[in-house]
Amino acid sequence: MVATLHDVAQIAGVSIKTVSNVINDHPHIRPATKQRVLEAIAELDYHPNLSARSLRSGRTGMIGLALPELSLSYFAELADAVIRSAERHGVTVLIEQTGGDRDREIGLLSSPRRQLTDGLIFSPLGLGNDDADFLKVGYPLVLLGERVFGGPTDHVTMRNVDAARAATEHLIRQGRRRIAVVGAHDGEVIGSAGLRLRGYREALDAAGIPFDPALLGFTTLWHRSNGATAMRELLASGVQFDAVFGLNDTLTLGAMRVLQEAGLHIPEDVATIGFDDLDEAQYSLPTLSTIDPGREEIAETAVRILLERINATDPASPPREILADFRVIERESTATHGGAGERMRASAAAGTVGETGASAPARAGVTALS
């Protein structure tokens, strides 16, 4: 049988409330008493009953993490980071998979399971900006991603426009002028695709390179296969290009296979850069240049401000919009000057991992916009 406060109190010869006070570090406890209680706790290997505690206190010590699907690498790595960060803060994470389905996302916001968590970190995929009202919920909520802006909750996301511009500028600096895009969504203004495409266009404008719609490869989903398909269509269209900006790593890796299948060399014929800095991008052949969108930092920040909301005593302060820092990570797929092949082979032979070139300096730190 597992020990309770009552058992501890009996052994220590005090009331159960005193034991509770010791556990919760209340003031006004004689050191000798405290000592006896702690010994009794150790003797019985007592651990507080979490159900009773949360019934009494209204707190569960868990936070929810709602995301589309763990089998998408980006979200698996995000979940990993959130769990580790939550652990550092002493809370537990309950993961919910939505499948990116709008109805499930909405349902989950008022699911009875919300009782099990003190707050929610929510990365929607099906929700749109018009659905912002659904986010008015009675518990702390931190939004991730690019589906909803200006909602009623704290929002942690990445500098999509700036980062995409930096990625494009990086290609331009390597002398590339005809930069194809893989993963565009037609007509989208917000959402990852819309924002990243905007950054791409800003970079072109700044460099005086005309925007050519023929260079856009469209695809709704962002799986590896979609990147491959979009690239095949680009190749079939006959449009000329010397670089590819894939709107995420998975797409880009799919596109790279098709390029290589077609006999093109990366980076000599076509340089490629992705977005997300998946673990996988360090191991592809060639290794993939990409944007580190600050996933670790997003996870850490989301957990931190969620816990701030949970622990806040004063009533609601206005929602915050927080943008993570990003970095351009230069690897073999955009290596510049001759010898790229050499370098590739050398680094590969050593079994090393990682960043061939220097990273561009970060463009901005974490900043609260409001």
How far lies 247's CA from each of 15, 155, 164, 183, 309, in Å? 62, 21, 8, 6, 33
> Is residue 220 a contact point for a copy of itself (CB under 8 A)?
no
Tokens for 76, please give them. 């698996």
Residue type, 168: T
Provide the 10 A C-beta neighbour count for residue 158. 27
Residue 243 vs 344, nearer CB to a copy of itself: 344
Among 189, 207, 264, 285, binds a copy of itself (CB under 8 A): 285
Residue 14 vs 163, nearer CB to DNA: 14
Give the total residue count for the chain: 370
Residue 55 vs 214, nearer CB to DNA: 55
Least distance (Å) between residue 289 CB and a copy of itself: 17
Stretch in the footprint of a copy of itself (CB under 8 A) among 6-14, 21-29, 90-98, 181-189: 90-98
Residue 18 vs 284, nearer CB to DNA: 18
Strands 62-67 and 119-122: parallel
For the window 300-339, what string marks contact with a copy of itself as x by the rule CB under 8 A? ----------------------------------------
Report the side by side order of strands in the sheet with 62-67. Answer: 92-97, 62-67, 119-122, 141-144, 154-158, 321-324, 367-368
Tokens for 293, please give them. 């969108």
Provide the 10 A C-beta neighbour count for residue 217. 27
Q: Closest Cα partner for 164 from 146, 140, 138?
A: 146
Least distance (Å) between residue 219 CB and DNA: 47
Binding interface with DNA (CB under 7 A): 2, 4-6, 13-18, 20-21, 23-24, 27-30, 32-34, 46, 48-49, 52-53, 55-57
Residue 148 vs 303, nearer CB to a copy of itself: 303
Residue 115 vs 225, nearer CB to DNA: 115
Residue 48 vs 126, nearer CB to DNA: 48
Concatenating the DSSP letter of every residue in 265-278 gives -TTTT-EEE-SS--
Residues 6+ apart with CB under 8 A from 35: none
Stretch in the footprint of a copy of itself (CB under 8 A) among 16-24, 68-76, 186-194, 301-309: 68-76
Residue 2 vs 236, nearer CB to DNA: 2
Residue 55 vs 206, nearer CB to DNA: 55
Least distance (Å) between residue 360 CB and a copy of itself: 25
Least distance (Å) between residue 171 CB and a copy of itself: 23
Among 121, 258, 266, 273, binds a copy of itself (CB under 8 A): 258
> Is residue 20 a contact point for a copy of itself (CB under 8 A)?
no
Helices (H) and strands (E) in the chain, counts: 12, 13
Buried b (16+ CB within 10 A) or exposed e, 336-345: eeeebeebbe
Of 34-53, binders to a copy of itself (CB under 8 A) are 47-52
- CA 206 to CA 236: how far, in whole Å? 29
Least distance (Å) between residue 14 CB and DNA: 4
Cα angle vertex 317, ends 312, 323, to 5°?
A: 100
Least distance (Å) between residue 122 CB and DNA: 25
- CA 340 to CA 270: how far, in whole Å? 13
Q: Closest Cα partner for 360 from 145, 192, 162, 156?
A: 162
**Eight-state DSSP code of residue 322:** E
- CA 57 to CA 75: how far, in whole Å? 32
Binding positions for a copy of itself, rule: CB under 8 A: 47-52, 54-55, 60, 62, 69-71, 73, 76-77, 79-80, 83-84, 92-95, 97, 112-113, 115-116, 223-225, 228-229, 232, 254, 257-258, 260-261, 279-280, 282-285, 345, 348-349, 351, 353
